[in-house]
Structure 1
């Protein structure tokens, strides 16, 4: 398969995530506040798209195995294009939550199906190219808050929504250039193996940690009056992940998936313990860097491994994304209720336990992977 298809997929990923992230960071809370909504209502609205993902990820992966990746990505592109325009019609908590739920469909389709497409097109280098796609989306995610914030400051919310729709239109247009892939499933024979479930739990632990850091980092007492610094740390975190993932994916293609998962998840768990007991800024920065490295190394192997456990690659990846979204939604809730010390410790221990069970269970499973 020529590289032209890869470039189109990378551009699609960049514009899709750039637009979707602009619509929520920092736009969503500011727009909701301008409508007079309370903080509790804003929290409900923010969770709407993640909740959508829990249910849609798996279904979209399965449907892509039946009807093909291109058709599902076209649907995703249409939602990316149309959803931002619906913000103009939202005037209360219910309508805004519905808009966010609808917008969540786009990402919930795009992530597992685009990764499945990469797996279809580049079976021998899937780890490397999945990592590159992830980096393309992370670049969009990193640029989005600054771009959206600047547009709001100079012109207001309307220009952000129009820009997000424009990026969605570009995403939709690119889907028409993609090659056909998969779509040959005649009978649903997906196996909910324990290994696949535990892979999902590993990703859930990573995103439980990620969302907890993103939510509560600005509230550490030595960062409370330094919003710029917490923002910088988060930007550094995303930048490290964008840089490391392609190399981590390449490494997993060369040495197998298991060793990077063990190393990566161990780093994530240690990073959470650092966050739990840190009393100084340097330790927090060190924890953020360690987490970024560990998350990149682990995730660059879990996704390719899922496509090797199940012949239904889209379904497997969608299943992983659904479990991941549950972890992402639970992370801030756990840390919020248990407090920083107990909450971050819980997340770290959860990652360690999931890794240990995975290591013990996985030895009994025959897969197409070289351990």
Structure 2
């Protein structure tokens, strides 16, 4: 009984950490970053490069942090993440041009790139038989933080200015840093690190990359649909609806994944993501656009709730596997707006959807039903 209470307490610590980590990091980015950069006199091209800085950091750091957590333990890496969450927002006060602001974003990006794969690896360690369900709870905790952050940050900027936002972001980082010390010490260091490249793991990473390619494309270009131009509040409402649906569906999708296996939810989820992207490519009315956003949210939740636990079942090095997935995902997230920007709405969204379906077909051919 004492073991169950301890496990439950640790779960609450991880969920709270996830909420505050993503709340603070998102507040420092949306809508704070472009507005603050504009106040420093940066042009649109410079703002775009600064915004991409943290994503580029993630591509490299995700895998490294996963590997280090397998070798040295989850708690040490989460302490590092908490320290960066605490200190990075305060460095905004020192930024006065594009270069220094980009360097702040690179440093800030380390926090999320360490926290996400390591925290999910910790959940996988704690709940080997129900990892889909509890990874879903952690995803929901981070999504709630992500949904609240833009409204909170935007209101504070309007009423009190940027400085208060930076201090508040640092305060959320302090919470994450303190909570990391409440986690148990690792039982021992890994004696020997062995990780062989897995084509199956790459394929799972490409599934996540396709989802986030679509997600970032929607987030970037939704306000530019002609019937949403000049209605920033409406595009923001649709994006909040999208995140809200994902936050609600993720735990149920994880539970379903634990019950029926990983393959079926991935097939259903990626099919819905593909359908949603095709809907965006032909959307000619607001109801169709909203339908696409809801369908995408459900599909992304179904797929994402299965890919992470599946990766930890393929590799015994949970941190390394999840770090690898996050790195591939970040590449897709960075590529989404570029692809849609070059190809246009009709062909860009359709291409992203077809890419996801193509990866899904390879996934189905590679894995037999009985394997998952």
TM-score tier (shorter)? over 0.9
Q: Displacement of 1:226 after TM fit? A: 1.3
Match of 1:142 in 2: 147
Residue 28 of structure 2 is aligned to residue 13 of structure 1: no
**Contact 1:120–1:182 (CA under 8 A) maintained in structure 2:** no
Q: Displacement of 1:179 after TM fit? A: 1.9
* Of 167, 175, 181, the match for 1:162: 167
Cα displacement string for residues 95-127 of structure 1 (whole angstroms, at most 9, x for unaligned residues): 000000000000000000000000001111110
**Contact 1:64–1:71 (CA under 8 A) maintained in structure 2:** yes
Q: Displacement of 1:370 after TM fit? A: 5.8
> How large is the Cα RMSD of the aligned pairs?
1.1
Residue 130 of structure 2 is aligned to residue 125 of structure 1: yes
Match of 2:56 in 1: 51
Q: Displacement of 1:182 after TM fit? A: 6.7
CA distance in 2: counterparts of 1:87 and 1:187, whole angstroms: 40
**Contact 1:202–1:351 (CA under 8 A) maintained in structure 2:** yes
Q: Displacement of 1:189 after TM fit? A: 1.4
Cα displacement string for residues 236-263 of structure 1 (whole angstroms, at most 9, x for unaligned residues): 0000000000000000001100000000
Residue 280 of structure 2 is aligned to residue 275 of structure 1: yes
Match of 1:332 in 2: 337
Cα displacement string for residues 269-310 of structure 1 (whole angstroms, at most 9, x for unaligned residues): 110000011111111100000000000000000000000000
CA distance in 1: counterparts of 2:216 and 2:19, whole angstroms: 21
Name structure 1 gaps, 5 residues minimum.
none
**Contact 1:120–1:181 (CA under 8 A) maintained in structure 2:** no
The alignment partner of 1:339 has SS state of: helix
CA distance in 2: counterparts of 1:329 and 1:360, whole angstroms: 27
CA distance in 1: counterparts of 2:301 and 2:252, whole angstroms: 9
CA distance in 2: counterparts of 1:183 and 1:337, whole angstroms: 50
Cα displacement string for residues 219-242 of structure 1 (whole angstroms, at most 9, x for unaligned residues): 000111211111000000000000
- Structure 1 residues 201 and 350, CA gap change in structure 2 (3 angstroms): same
Count of aligned positions: 367
Match of 1:224 in 2: 229
**Contact 1:266–1:352 (CA under 8 A) maintained in structure 2:** yes
* Of 6, 9, 20, the match for 1:4: 9
Match of 1:236 in 2: 241
Match of 1:192 in 2: 197
Q: Displacement of 1:6 after TM fit? A: 0.4
**Contact 1:191–1:310 (CA under 8 A) maintained in structure 2:** no
- Structure 1 residues 247 and 81, CA gap change in structure 2 (3 angstroms): same
Match of 1:212 in 2: 217
TM-score relative to the length of structure 2: 0.97
Q: Displacement of 1:188 after TM fit? A: 2.8
TM-score relative to the length of structure 1: 0.97
Match of 2:92 in 1: 87
**Contact 1:65–1:182 (CA under 8 A) maintained in structure 2:** no
The alignment partner of 1:202 has SS state of: helix
Cα displacement string for residues 314-358 of structure 1 (whole angstroms, at most 9, x for unaligned residues): 000000000000000000000001100111011001000111111
- Structure 1 residues 169 and 255, CA gap change in structure 2 (3 angstroms): same
**Contact 1:66–1:183 (CA under 8 A) maintained in structure 2:** no
